[in-house]
Amino acid sequence: MTHPGFWKTRERLLRGLYPPTCVLCGAQGEGELDLCAPCLADLPRNRDCCRRCALPLPAERPSGALCGECQRRLPPYAVCHAAFRYEGPLPILVGGAKFRARLNLARLLGQCLANALGECGAELPELIVPVPLHAKRLRERGYNQALELARTLGRVFSIPVDVHSCVRVSATPPQAGLARKERQPNVRGAFRILHPPGVERVAILDDVVTTGSTVSELTRVLLKAGVKRVDVWAVARTP
């Protein structure tokens, strides 16, 4: 078995040979990030948002406000933390990680999300569950971008990543191509628990939360499996 220190030493050596370079403009990266300081500062941080589902809200809304949807009916998860609004360069960064196998972007976005979670003082779960891909889509794409994000978060916070407890059992159409009213029925029954995670607190990890239908459905099956609290961690939230 390789000693954990080997990987840290290897990473330091690689950083020395290949210093961080901004993926957006090509300038020198900030710290260990492949983003320069100006591009990092320009990312649309999701600070003015619903305190429950992280939906971006107008800046004039009171801090800690609920969006209209959460006022009507709260989602089943306890809280959603989304680092950015899905606008500006975020579609380019997320799209590269999701559809173009640029796993360096997944690591970068995972680092940015970890930093945002640390800044807001998010409570840490016992387990991270990346949103599963159906086996057919996983074969087509070759990887699950949510899992790649989760691996980075798991390393940063020393939290196990669980890819065995839950599977996606229906190859539903992509949520991005559906109207809001079609999204919840589209994912109903999409997930199945193979065995209970055996912990009380879980964080679901996804790249982008739009209406919240997918993470809400996955939350429901985890709660039925005995999990007491489910949080949602996402790179971005669609306005």
User: Helix, strand or coil for residue 231?
Assistant: strand
CB 222 within 8 A of CB 192: no
The class (CATH top level) of 48-237 is alpha beta
For residue 188, give the nearest of 221, 227, 223 by alpha carbon: 221
Q: What is the pLDDT of residue 2?
A: 42
pLDDT band of residue 4 (cuts 50, 70, 90) is very low
Q: What is the pLDDT of residues 84-123, one digit of tens each?
A: 999 999 999 999 999 999 999 999 999 999 999 999 999 9
Give the per-residue pLDDT at 113.
98
Residue 234 pLDDT exceeds 60? yes
Beta-ladder partners of 115? none
In which residue are the tokens 């040979």 written?
Answer: 17
Instruction: Please report, for the chain, the start and end positions of each structural domain, with discontinuous segments joined by +.
Output: 48-237
Beta-carbon contacts of 6 under 8 Å, excluding residues fewer than 6 positions away, are: none
Q: Is a pLDDT exceeding 60 seen at residue 176?
A: no
Residue 187 confidence (pLDDT) = 83
Which of 70-84, 126-140, 177-191 is least confident? Answer: 177-191
